[in-house]
Structure 1
Amino acid sequence: MDPRSEVLLRQPEYFQGSLLLVGLPADELLGELPNAHGWCWHAGDQATLDARFEGRVHFGIELPERAFDTAVVFLPKSKELADYLLNAVAARLPGADVFLVGEKKGGIEGASKQLIPFGKPRKLDSARHCQLWQVTVLNAPTAPVLADLAQHYELPLAEGPLKVVSLPGVFSHGRLDRGSALLLEHLDKLPSGHVLDFGCGAGVLGAAVKRRYPHNTVTLLDVDAFATASSRLTLAANGLEAEVITGDGIDAAPMGLNSILSNPPFHVGVHTDYHATENLLQKAVKHLKTGGELRLVANSFLRYQPLIEEQFGHCTVKAQGQGFRIYSAKRR
């Protein structure tokens, strides 16, 4: 059981009515709270929860339509996403209680101040290196419009400026990260055909490739529904068309690809997690046609080259700088 869930279950008297669990972990909490429903935007967590508690978890970027008496928000890593979630919930629950739970190392103490606009927050519990906060919504906000919270910026590329639209919670929200910037400089000589942008985030790589190589088929894939929604907005802002998939890792990707591009993630919330990237490196070769290329950027300290060589038999460093390396390997 996730320690945040354990803290909730120490205070069962607060969670007897119809309860919404926002950003809940993929554990057994729904089994302990029979009147609870979840709201999730991580495709992997959704698949796990749906297998155990079918019909009890809403997937997507908007608050579920169903009515509920109270809500618990599990603190996300992003402050902007936390703001969106708390305002969306508080707007629906005037006069009711809203709870915020999170790990101390995830910043729950400071994040509790985000409850102040709604009323007077109070700490209910501190255990398992987590804290549980509660506020009665005396000042209900106007329901937030997610599109209004998007950040827009432009990248000066050779083909002209690329417009990027980034929603709260998306990796490198509102700016281009150094790894993707390096990979954007080395998109030359990609095998033509079907290109996958794995871990697409706001869709920068996929959109750039589609515009530079318009005859290619481009698929963008991410585990996070806020990321794929951002990618769709980025594509639309540039008048581009591509397939966008919300799915759990490389297993959700098409087969028969000619290229896989990636700036793969290695963090989930406040924790380091290499699983998605290691799974990509182990299985990418099966998703590529003969002659197809995996090209990815990663922090120089991450030892990805041996993992790539184990599957492809070879791997070259195409470029490096700013603490990053671009690896390239082709299926023979």
Structure 2
Amino acid sequence: MKTVAGPPAAVFFRIFFLSTDTLSVRDFTQPMTNESNSTSVTPVFSCPFGEFKLQTRHFHPKSPLQAWNAADEMLLKHCADQTDAQPRVLLINDAAGALATCLHQWQPHSWNDSYCSRLALLQNLQRNGLPFDESTWIVSTEQPQGKYDLVLIKVPKTLSLLEYQLCRLRPHLHADTQIIGAAMVKHLSTSMIQCFERLIGPTRTSRAEKKARRIHARFDAALKGAAPEPIQYGIENTPLQLINYASVFSQQKLDIGTRILLENFPASCNESQGQQHIVDLGCGNGALGCYAAWKNPQAQISMVDESYLALKSAQQSIAASGLKNTFNLINADGLNHLPATADLILCNPPFHAGTHVDDNIANRMFRDARSQLAPGGEFVVVGNRHLDYHDHLKRYFDQVTLVGSNKKFVVLSARTKGH
């Protein structure tokens, strides 16, 4: 068992170097940093297992986001009534590590699609002087090992991810496994409850408490259910094919924002530029990076995302499109720990953190892009008009130019003097 005792000084992120024949993995250290105001007081969460200092990964005093909600409280209250002194526990979608931190005495396993959730867990363990066991972290693209006595699921916002997770969970359940989901009532749909019934077994819901509700399911080994296959579609007038796993953005078809960016693609990306370095920041299924690779077959393409399923989608999009460029698939929280070598950075940033609108995500991406551009480099971003990205970009760049738009979206190019 590999355990990091005491406060971890650094964590690892992975860069996958992809060629047409091989895929190798290298680990790089990423310093444990948090952007919280140093003078702010860390929130303290009280539960039946004690009091714990907990923060989100990118804590901001004015943000409505916090590391736990009433759904976490309901799950922990239920866990406190367990008669099994040391159950084998699996946590799914524990966004900020609140459950794993509070239940650390049970050494729970965490199964998650978010690299940022891993960082949040590490930071919260550090705040509470608790060790991190590397073997307890399971990425969403891999399977857990063995059977579990208790499975706690923070129900994700997309039905496709819930279906994907429940199908892959079945081999790790036994007749007496307790499977308990939890969510805020406003985000819990009837179809999600039916998904538990269809893929796990007989299901009931609890009474609502503090606008949260639990889902209790009993495993039925006779049920059949296979994880949904990824969705594939092409980009018009190109040979490119995009592969989309559960919950990856633009899963069913090319989204309008990406489409308008492709229609206004930067002229600086072409074969005459030779071996330029192009970054697809927040790559999702890899649409922008694959298009850039098609426009310039000599370019080196880096695709960066915090979602493990997004990077798997991008990897398979590259293969399905038959692209021969050199690709770096990077699982990380932004670009701020990578060398400043990008000639062109492309970005269609998310503006939701889970179920909450959060423009801090885009601002972090803009700041990272500014620091990672090589001299002469360009940052091209697309976004909804109402998000006012033009004003946000002016905080970090000297020159911001509108290069394309329609009624809903704008495409902006940003540069800095001396770059």
Which residue, out of 102, 123, 145, partners 1:65? Answer: 145
Residue 8 of structure 1: aligned partner: 75
Q: In structure 2, how many angstroms separate the alpha carbons of the residues matched to 1:322 and 1:250?
A: 31
1:261-300 equivalences in 2 (<5 Å): 261-300=346-385
Partner Cα distance (1:181, 1:135) in 2: 41
Q: Which amino acid aligns with 2:315?
A: R
Distance 1:99 1:288, change over 3 A: same
Identify the match of residue 82 of structure 1 among 143, 150, 162. Answer: 162
2:294, 2:210 → 1: CA distance? 49
Partner of 1:128: 210
- The farther-off stretch of 130-139 and 213-222 is 130-139
1:29 partner letter? L
| C-alpha separation in 2, matches of 1:39 and 1:265 | 23
C-alpha distance in structure 2 between counterparts of 1:140 and 1:23, whole Å: 26
Deviates more, 1:309-318 or 1:203-212: 309-318
The whole-number CA distance in structure 1 between the counterparts of 2:145 and 2:377 is 44
Counterpart Cα distance in 2 of 1:284 and 1:292:
10
Measured in 2, the distance between the counterparts of 1:140 and 1:14 equals 27
2:102 is aligned, of 32, 43, 57, to 32
Alpha-carbon shift at residue 97 of structure 1 (Å):
2.4
Supply the distance in 2 between the matched residues of 1:284 and 1:297 (Cα, whole angstroms). Answer: 14
Contact in 2 for aligned 1:24/1:38 (Cα 8 Å): yes
2:240 aligned counterpart, secondary structure:
strand
In 2, the alpha carbon distance for the partners of 1:84 and 1:188 equals: 36
Q: Structure 2: state its 5+ residue gaps.
A: 1-66, 126-130
Change (3 A) 1:27 1:322: same
Unaligned residue ranges in structure 1 (runs of 5+): none
Aligned-partner Cα distance in 1 for 2:277–2:92? 36
- 1:194-213 matches, cutoff 5 A: 194-213=277-296
CA distance in 2, matches of 1:42, 1:266: 16
- What is the identity, as a one-letter code, of the residue corresponding to 1:183? L
Q: TM-score if structure 1 supplies the norm length?
A: 0.92
Structure with the higher fraction of residues in helix conformation: 1
Structure 2 SS opposite 1:128: coil
Closer/same/farther in 2, CA of residues 292 and 67 from structure 1, 3 Å limit: same
Could you tell me how far 1:48 is from its partner in structure 2?
A: 2.2
Tell me whether 1:186 sits opposite 2:270 in the alignment: no
Once superposed, what is the RMSD of the aligned Cα atoms?
2.0
| Superposed displacement of residue 143, structure 1 | 6.7
Percent identity reads 24
TM-score w.r.t. the length of structure 2 is 0.74
- Please state how far the C-alpha of 1:329 moved relative to its aligned partner: 1.1
What is aligned with 2:305?
A: 222
Change (3 A) 1:279 1:188: closer
Structure 2 counterpart of 1:2, one-letter code? W
CA distance 1:6–1:28, change in 2 (3 Å): same
Q: Helix, strand or coil for the counterpart of 2:196?
A: helix
State the alpha-carbon separation in 2 of the partners of residues 28 and 261 from structure 1: 33
The Cα of 1:141 is off from its aligned counterpart by: 4.4
Partners of 1:173 and 1:8 in 2: CA distance: 31
Equivalent pair of 2:248/2:310 in contact (CA under 8 Å): yes
Tell me which stretches of 4 or more aligned residues in structure 1 moved more than 4 Å.
Answer: 140-143
Q: Match of 2:88?
A: 18
